[in-house]
Amino acid sequence: MSNFIDNKVNIQFRAVYNQLKETGKIKSKSDIALKLGTYNHIINSILNGKRNITLEQMNKLIEIYGINANFLFGESEEMYDGYNASDSTMSVDYEIPKNITLVPQYAMAGGSISGQVEDSEDEYQKFCIPGLHGDLLAIEISGDSMMPNITNGDIVICERIESGALGNIKDNAVYVIVTDSVVAKRVQNIRKDMQVVGLRLISDNQIYPPYDVELEDVRDVYRVKHRITNYGIS
């Protein structure tokens, strides 16, 4: 079984758990499990270094208990958002801008799904990660066609490419492409008479053959800037 005991976010979560218990904000693992929408044994596994806290659980921890996102990632010594951790009451003085939108659709790295990235991103959960700026999108990857560079369950952090800038797509970089489906692939431009007319979508796992899409069929393109894995952010 994998050992996640040294994962920085898990270490910080253990500190948060102990602080919440010491200050009486929770009485047991069951209390925090209920708030985070999970189970007692899941919390126990995170605390014992047998699994990672999920992105959704981190966001609930931040929103419900006022935990400083920078603290969770080891970028700040202040555990709480806007007040001294030694205080017995919480008074939030500011809100960290949440610039990353977590969309509910999966970007399939080993197949396709119906649908597309919705335009109404304000309806979806937002979060922030220290050092990542701008309006970004987070999509969870499902499948194995981008292995070993992106694995099943990874979350990719993406930046939208404006429709007028599709000619600036870099060959062999990884993008999330939205047509009638949503996929994460390595991309190469297809040119005709010096103009980009389509995209070749390539899987890193070579058992999946590349395929082409016409540029007019592409609804949205998101450049993958970072990925969140079981071991951190890359």
The verdict on domain 1-95 having CATH code 3.40.50.2300 is: no
As a CATH number, domain 100-233 is 2.10.109.10
Task: Name the residue type at position 207.
Answer: I
pLDDT digits (tens, 9 = 90+) for 51-73: 888 888 888 898 899 898 888 88
CA angle 124, 146, 121 (to 5 degrees): 10
- Give the pLDDT of residue 112: 44
- Give the pLDDT of residue 75: 76
Chain region(s) in the chain for CATH 1.10.260.40 = 1-95
Higher-pLDDT residue of 207 and 94 is 207
What's the rounded Cα separation, in Å, for the pair 128 and 63?
12
For the chain, the average pLDDT equals 80
What percent of the chain lies above the pLDDT cut of 70?
A: 80
pTM of the predicted model, to two decimals? 0.59
Q: 199-205: long-range contacts at Cβ-Cβ below 8 A with a sequence spacing of 24 or more?
A: 199/169, 201/177, 202/172, 203/109, 203/110, 203/145, 203/146, 204/145, 204/146, 204/147, 204/148, 204/149, 204/150, 205/110, 205/144, 205/145, 205/146, 205/147
pLDDT digits (tens, 9 = 90+) for 127-186: 777 777 888 888 888 888 999 888 888 888 999 888 777 778 999 999 999 888 889 999
